[in-house]
Amino acid sequence: MVLHVIRAVFVLVVLGIAISYALTPEVRGTPDAGEEAMFLRMALVMIVPVILAVTLILTDMAFRRKSLSSISGLFFGVVAGVFLAYVLGMIVDLAASVFVADYEEVGLVIMTKLLVGACAIYLCVSFVMQTKDDFRFIIPYVEFSRQSKGSHSLVLDTSAIIDGRIADVAETRILEGTLIVPRFVVEETQNIADSADKLRRSRGRRGLDMLNRLRNNDEIDIRLADASIPAVEEATEVDHKLVALAKHLDARIVTSDYNLNKVAQLRGVEVININDLANALKPVVLPGETVTVKIIKPGEEAGQGVGYLEDGTMVVVEQARSRIGEDLTVVVTSALQTSAGRMIFGKTGNSAT
């Protein structure tokens, strides 16, 4: 909205400059020159600069890369634009002194300097406001964003936020990069929290709680991304938007979604899978060791019973279908670890003997 207002003000300024020049005697001419010719010259002097200004705005909009900036960006843009306008004005004076006779009395030179100055200020403000994500403005100074060697920003997806474990990991301060939460991910989490389905609504609300927990922790560097990036806007699905944003920012995606993991890898985007991280931190269980697990449901194969360890690891026990509800000592026979989680296979102590 702010950028649209600036564009409108820019057009009005150019129109005002053109009108002020059109009313000068140099443009209006002598009375015997004819009113029709006078009005034609005045119309051209007023219309041509406005057309150029509108063309400049349309060109700028066609190649826009970033979102609107804050008032600090406007301040810095105006300062840079005024300085650039001063330098360009000196160049115009130098050129006029060489090619135009009595250039100090020519109104065209003055109008040219004003138009060049207005264009310079507009372009500087537009550039700064559309690249706010590359700067951190501290009025009246400008601080470039940190460039940490070996660290990448981390883009969180909806599954990682709802999962909740990323908050625990971030609070350990092991993550060095900035956590980036895209606006469309927040919107998707809100939609899940507003779902009519009770389970989805509960998951969505937990995700919003995790976001608040992350934002309220001063030790965590988290940022809400609201950048207007063409590649992101062109994507229709959230997963594709995430991949496009991570690729644009040279960031990694944090997710527990197996499908997003594969899509990102195909696009050349690095992924941190929460399940892989959790599996890496789980104690290694070797064949022959024993674990205690409560059988809670039957397995897929005949005679199998299924239970879960405290960390969520699934344990498939042979000959335990008839012992659902019991706590069993299980001898591990093998373990399978994938991005979707870890599975342990075993036999009851009696079967093993």
- Report pLDDT digits (tens) over 45-60: 788 888 888 888 787 7
- R_g over Cα of the chain: 33
In this structure, what CATH number is given to the domain that contains residue 315?
2.40.50.140
Q: Within this chain, do residues 97 and 36 fall inside the same structural domain, yes or no?
A: yes
**Is the distance from CB of 257 to CB of 339 less than 8 angstroms?**
no
- Within-domain flag for 149: no
Tell which wins on pLDDT, 35 or 139: 35
Looking at residue 336, what is its pLDDT? 81
Q: Within this chain, do residues 239 and 338 fall inside the same structural domain, yes or no?
A: no
Count how many residues are written for the chain.
353
Q: Within this chain, do residues 237 and 341 fall inside the same structural domain, yes or no?
A: no
CA–CA dist 153, 227 (Å, integer): 15
Please determine, for residue 214, whether its predicted confidence score (pLDDT) is greater than 90. Answer: no
CA distance between the termini of the chain = 75
Tell which wins on pLDDT, 133 or 312: 312
C-alpha distances in Å from residue 349, one per residue of 103, 262, 289, 329? 103, 39, 11, 6
Q: Within this chain, do residues 14 and 138 fall inside the same structural domain, yes or no?
A: yes
Mean pLDDT of the chain: 78
Split at pLDDT 50, 70, 90, the class of 137 is very low
Split at pLDDT 50, 70, 90, the class of 42 is confident
Split at pLDDT 50, 70, 90, the class of 317 is very high
Q: Within this chain, do residues 207 and 294 fall inside the same structural domain, yes or no?
A: no
Q: Within this chain, do residues 263 and 337 fall inside the same structural domain, yes or no?
A: no
Q: Within this chain, do residues 242 and 257 fall inside the same structural domain, yes or no?
A: yes
- Within-domain flag for 273: yes
Q: Which of 114, 143, 172 is the last residue of a domain?
A: 143
Looking at residue 71, what is its pLDDT? 57
Q: What would the mean pLDDT of 255-269 be, rounded to a whole number? A: 86
- Within-domain flag for 148: no
Q: Within this chain, do residues 7 and 63 fall inside the same structural domain, yes or no?
A: yes
CA–CA dist 71, 68 (Å, integer): 10
Q: Within this chain, do residues 323 and 336 fall inside the same structural domain, yes or no?
A: yes
Bridge partners (DSSP) of residue 73 are: none
State the total domains in the chain: 3
In this structure, what CATH number is given to the domain that contains residue 164?
3.40.50.1010
Tell which wins on pLDDT, 144 or 14: 14
Bridge partners (DSSP) of residue 174 are: none
Please determine, for residue 143, whether its predicted confidence score (pLDDT) is greater than 50. Answer: no
Please determine, for residue 216, whether its predicted confidence score (pLDDT) is greater than 60. Answer: yes
Q: Within this chain, do residues 115 and 217 fall inside the same structural domain, yes or no?
A: no
Please determine, for residue 145, whether its predicted confidence score (pLDDT) is greater than 70. Answer: no
Q: What is the DSSP letter of 33?
A: G
Report pTM: 0.46
Q: Within this chain, do residues 167 and 129 fall inside the same structural domain, yes or no?
A: no
Looking at residue 305, what is its pLDDT? 93
Q: Which of 279, 314, 329 is the last residue of a domain?
A: 279
CA–CA dist 144, 154 (Å, integer): 19
Split at pLDDT 50, 70, 90, the class of 316 is very high
Residue numbers of the domain that contains 113: 2-143
Q: What would the mean pLDDT of 286-313 be, rounded to a whole number? A: 88
Q: Which of 279, 304, 321 is the last residue of a domain?
A: 279
